[in-house]
Amino acid sequence: MATATINRPRDPNTLSNYNNWRTLHTSTTLEILFDQQKLQGIVSHDLQAITDGESDEIILDSSHVLVRSILAEGKPAKWETAKRLEPYGSALKIKLDRKPKLNERIDIQIELETTESCTALQWLTPAQTSNRKHPYMFSQCQAIHARSIFPCQDTPDVKATFDFSIKSPLPVIASGLGAKENPTSPSADGSSQLYKFHQRVPIPAYLFAIASGDIATASIGPRSTVATGPDELKDCTWELEESTEKFLQAGESLVYPYAWGEYNVLVLPPSFPYGGMENPVYTFATPTIISGDRENVDVIAHELSHSWSGNLVSNASWEHFWLNEGWTTYLERRIQSIVHGGDQWRDFSAIIGWQALADSIKNFGEEHEFTKLVIDLKGKDPDDAFSSIPYEKGFNFLYYIEKLIGKEEFDKFIPHYFETWRGKSLDSYDFKTTLLDFFKSDEKVSAELAKIDWDTWFYKPGFPPKPNFDTTLVDVAYRLADKWEEFTKEPNPDFGPNKLDIDGWTANQVVVFLERVMAFKTALPVPHAHQLGSVYNLKDTRNVEVSARYYQIAMASGDQSIKDFVVKLLGQVGRMKFVRPLYRGLMKLDYETAVETFEKNKDFYHPICRGMVAKDLLGSK
């Protein structure tokens, strides 16, 4: 059985000396101060020496955190904050009065407060929320932003249990199981109330999560709750209640029983930068999945899959991010095939994913380091490497292995892999060893696995080999796109665009059609782009997956009239999947409008999104 070497520092994106110390438990006693937009309180770490008498210094990751005082074993400790090293922050060095022996434990208490430069927290004024009554705050710690809330070993190679004690005048959600006495409504007089949560399954620091605001809850299954604003609760409940438990049961049938007790969903305000964040117990989700048609809830299948891939079994560093996201995308699509009825649904999703992969490779360039499966992040910011590539290239690698050895054999490996690495972190080489070891007594399967060109899959930039996907569910979309391509070149008496062209389609089939149009060698002429949007009613749809793609087609055609729709959407949605491509299109159509729109909305966007769009704007000059 493959085992990790505990003393090997595998993560280049941490300044901590986690090869000398490991955090076993973290307790956070924090107060949310909305008026000052900061957290303050005490964070305690229970650390264990994993070397014998080698180090009298504990080094933690820290970024823009104001440290007030530190106690080590209950006594004031000497400490210093090192000079800032971008993009990793400032190492916090805590001096001990001795060099502890192997397995000796040290308790560290840090009195602190966050600052306005904190990159993990977004603070919303009442005016930025749906009912405009109360402020709102939420965290997003992946990849290396937990260190901006509190000093910690901010690496996925370290996992710890957590206790949360959070004071707030508004309801609190956290990535743990809540105590029964937690209040469920805003305090009448605005005073702080105490909320407690516990996470008994060890998690890396990036899965620390809290949110606080005017939050209401409703049941969406026997072990699931949705939390969101009171005005959105009815819509969110309807959207999620049909599929959540089905997704859970499908995931359990592929791997093993769900380990986290409850699976809940917090639907955040629209500035949340991702489709979802797999925070344990409470997935943080974008409101763009609430489209009124249940067409986008497969995002929940993805985030739920992280309960096994990423949360229980984690990549040891962000250089091996595909182990989190490739596996999760693979499980998500297997869940889709179970719930929706057949592998054609998995391949349908994979075809959409291939287009996302192509877009990301185009944006980076086919020879770029970040188009590899295993990437080099030494001295680099993991956020800069974020794209669909680890998701889709990782999925395609696992899909390739499954097809190579057969689904029946691969399905035997899935629970073995997740049990072998349960509660641990691994890299790509551990994955390879685990796979080969599992089948080493099976000569037939081993002979097939010997065909894998590991170096090419791990290190070759650009596209992987494209599988022969089942196109049953996309053929109709491809045929319509082909008709449009011919229609734009010369008059076609046999084709006149009609709303019946897409009658009975799912929204995702419309997405595939639009992506095919986006891929035309020549952009649609402006009149045809107009016609496309009006005939199929694509401009005002509530489904952002559809409207955002249509807007990109219209901008590429040079349609100036689409600007108002784009600008409006960019002021309503903060999900980077939509925001960044829309800004790229707007920059080409009207750079000044793009800059004006960003300046107007930059405080609406999460700090991660704001930073990425600012880089895009600067890079396009």
479 is in an annotated binding site: no
pLDDT tens readout for residues 46-64? 999 999 999 999 999 999 9
140 is in an annotated binding site: yes
88 is in an annotated binding site: no
577 is in an annotated binding site: yes
With a pLDDT cut of 90, the percent of the chain lying above it is 90
Of 617, 618, 605, 616, the residue nearest 286 (C-alpha): 605
1 is in an annotated binding site: no
Of 207, 157, 210, the residue nearest 17 (C-alpha): 157
Give all strands of the β-sheet with 172-174 in edge-to-edge order. 121-124, 136-139, 210-212, 172-174
DSSP 481-528: HHHHHHHHHS--TT----GGGGTT--HHHHHHHHHHHHT-SSPPPHHH
327 is written with which tokens? Answer: 């596996």
Mean pLDDT value of segment 207-214 = 98
| Cβ-contact 137, 206 below 8 angstroms | no
* Phi and psi angles of residue 251, each rounded to the nearest 5 degrees, phi first: -60, -40
pLDDT at 8: 52
| Cβ-contact 531, 499 below 8 angstroms | no
pLDDT tens readout for residues 530-570? 999 999 999 989 999 999 999 999 999 999 999 999 999 99
* DSSP state letter for 313: B
Active site residues: 303, 391
CA angle 287, 292, 294 (to 5 degrees): 90
CA distance 308 to 397: 18
Of 146, 148, 182, the residue nearest 162 (C-alpha): 146
141 is in an annotated binding site: yes
CA distance 218 to 247: 18
CA distance 150 to 206: 11
Q: Is the pLDDT of residue 5 over 80?
A: no
Global pTM value: 0.92
Amino acid present at 54: E
pLDDT at 51: 96
pLDDT at 619: 82
| Cβ-contact 145, 9 below 8 angstroms | no
Q: Is the pLDDT of residue 473 over 60?
A: yes
CA distance 56 to 47: 13
CA distance 127 to 147: 29
CA distance 540 to 365: 33
Give all strands of the β-sheet with 264-267 in edge-to-edge order. 216-221, 224-228, 264-267, 282-285, 276-277
Q: Give the chain's mean pLDDT.
A: 95
325 is in an annotated binding site: yes
pLDDT at 202: 98
| Cβ-contact 608, 140 below 8 angstroms | yes
pLDDT at 1: 40
pLDDT tens readout for residues 80-94? 999 999 999 999 999
| Cβ-contact 551, 582 below 8 angstroms | yes
Residue 281 makes CB contacts below 8 A (sequence gap 6+) with 174, 175, 176, 177, 197, 199, 260, 261, 262, 263, 264
* The CA-based dihedral angle spanning residues 386, 548, 355, 369, taken in that order and rounded to the nearest 10 degrees: -20
276 is in an annotated binding site: yes
- Residue 621: pLDDT band (50, 70, 90) is low
Helical pair 507-518 and 544-557, crossing angle rounded to 10 deg: 20
Amino acid present at 408: E
| Cβ-contact 100, 106 below 8 angstroms | yes
With a pLDDT cut of 70, the percent of the chain lying above it is 98
Pairing type for strands 57-60 and 92-95 reads antiparallel
Residue 158 makes CB contacts below 8 A (sequence gap 6+) with 16, 18, 22, 23, 204, 205, 425
| 7 or 225, greater pLDDT | 225
142 is in an annotated binding site: yes
* The CA-based dihedral angle spanning residues 435, 437, 439, 441, taken in that order and rounded to the nearest 10 degrees: 170
Give the CA count within 13 Å in the CB-facing half-sphere of 301: 27
CA distance 71 to 162: 19
CA angle 405, 407, 411 (to 5 degrees): 105
277 is in an annotated binding site: yes
Structural domains of the chain, ranges and CATH numbers in brackets = 1-214 (2.60.40.1730), 313-459 (1.10.390.10), 472-618 (1.25.40.320)
| Cβ-contact 287, 269 below 8 angstroms | yes
Give the CA count within 13 Å in the CB-facing half-sphere of 29: 7
302 is in an annotated binding site: yes
* Phi and psi angles of residue 134, each rounded to the nearest 5 degrees, phi first: -135, 155
pLDDT tens readout for residues 409-451? 999 999 999 999 999 999 999 999 999 999 999 999 999 999 9
**Strands (E) located in 73-231:** 75-76, 78-81, 92-95, 105-113, 121-124, 136-139, 160-168, 172-174, 177-178, 193-203, 210-212, 216-221, 224-228
273 is in an annotated binding site: yes
- Residue 3: pLDDT band (50, 70, 90) is very low
